[in-house]
Amino acid sequence: MDHIACINGVLMTIVESGKATLERAILEYYAGNFQDAKKMFEELARKGDSGAQLFLGRMFYHGRGEDKDYTQAVHWIDKSANNGNLKAQTLLGICYRDGKGVDKSYNRARIWFQSAAGKGEPQAISCLAYCYCHGYGVTQNYKKALDLMKEAAEYGNAWAIGSIATYYENGIIVKQDLVEAFKLYEEAADLGDVYSIFSTGRFLLQGWGVDEDIERGKSRVRQAAELGSPEALNLLEKFPELFRE
C-alpha cells in the first residue's frame, strides 16, 4: 500500500468510527508505539468498534509489537468483517484463501471478497479477479477475471494492471498486443508491482513492444531481483555474467 492510500485508509477508518480515541490509537500505531496502540485498540474493539477490531487484527496478523498470531488475528478481523468493515472482509477473505488462522477455504474466501467487492472495495475486487483467474472457489472464467481486473485497475491497483498486461502479452481472450502489454507493465511497475518490473526488463531485453534497450532491461531485471522477484532471481542465477554491473 502506498503512503497516500495508507493515509486515506486511516482517515476513512477514523471517519467511519467517529471516535477520537481511535484516532489517537491509530496515531500511536503509525508512530511505532505498538503496545500503547494495542491497549487502546483492545478497549475499543471490546466495545464493538469495527475500525479498532480491524487494526487489532492487523497487529496480530503482521506481528506488530509481538509475535504473529493468526488465530487471534482472525478472531478480531472476523468481528470487524461481520460489523460491515469492507477492509476487514477483504483481509478475512485473504486469511481463508491462504489458510492463515483458519482452515483454507477458497469458497469462503470468494464469499468475503464478493461481499466487499460488491460495495466497491478495490483490493477485494482484485482478489475476486484472482479467484476467477485461477478458479479458486469459482469456475475459472478469464472474461469475468478480466472485467474485474479492469475495474480494480481504475482504482490504480498495480496487480490488476500488471495482470491485464499478461493477458495482452499472451493473447488471453484479447488479441495479442505486445505494445499494449509493455505499456501496462510499465504502468504497473511504476506503482511498485514486482512482476511487472521484471516483465518490463524482459520486454526491453528482447525488444517486445518497445525498442530493444539491453542496459535498461538488465537494470529492470536487477531491480526486480532486489525486490525478491523469483523470476528475476532465477534469471540472474542462470546468466550471472550477463547481469553483472
The enclosing domain of 199 has a CATH number of 1.25.40.10
CATH number of domain containing 69 = 1.25.40
What pLDDT, in 10s, does the model give residues 75-131? 999 999 999 999 999 999 999 999 999 999 999 999 999 999 999 999 999 999 999
Q: What is the SS3 assignment for 197?
A: helix
Which of 133, 155, 177 is the endpoint of a domain?
155
Cβ contact 91:121 at 8 Å: no
Helix axes 178-190, 194-206, angle to 10 degrees: 140
Domain coverage including residue 228: 158-245
Which of 32, 59, 84 is the endpoint of a domain?
84
What are the grid coordinates assigned to 164, written together?
491485464
90 and 144 co-located in one domain: yes
Q: How many domains does the chain fold into?
A: 3
Cβ contact 113:93 at 8 Å: yes
Q: Report pLDDT for 8.
A: 52
Which of 155, 179, 201 is the endpoint of a domain?
155
User: What average pLDDT score do residues 151-158 get?
Assistant: 96
What are the grid coordinates assigned to 126, written together?
482484485
Cβ contact 53:45 at 8 Å: yes
Q: Report pLDDT for 72.
A: 97
**What CA–CA distance (Å, rounded) separates 164 from 166?**
5
- The rounded percent of the chain whose pLDDT value lies above 90 is 88
DSSP conformation class of 173: S
DSSP conformation class of 31: T
140 and 120 co-located in one domain: yes
What are the grid coordinates assigned to 42, written together?
483492545
More confident residue, 162 or 18: 162
What pLDDT, in 10s, does the model give residues 194-218? 999 999 999 999 999 999 999 999 9
What's the predicted TM-score (pTM) here? 0.84
Confidence of residue 4 (pLDDT cuts 50, 70, 90): very low
203 and 225 co-located in one domain: yes
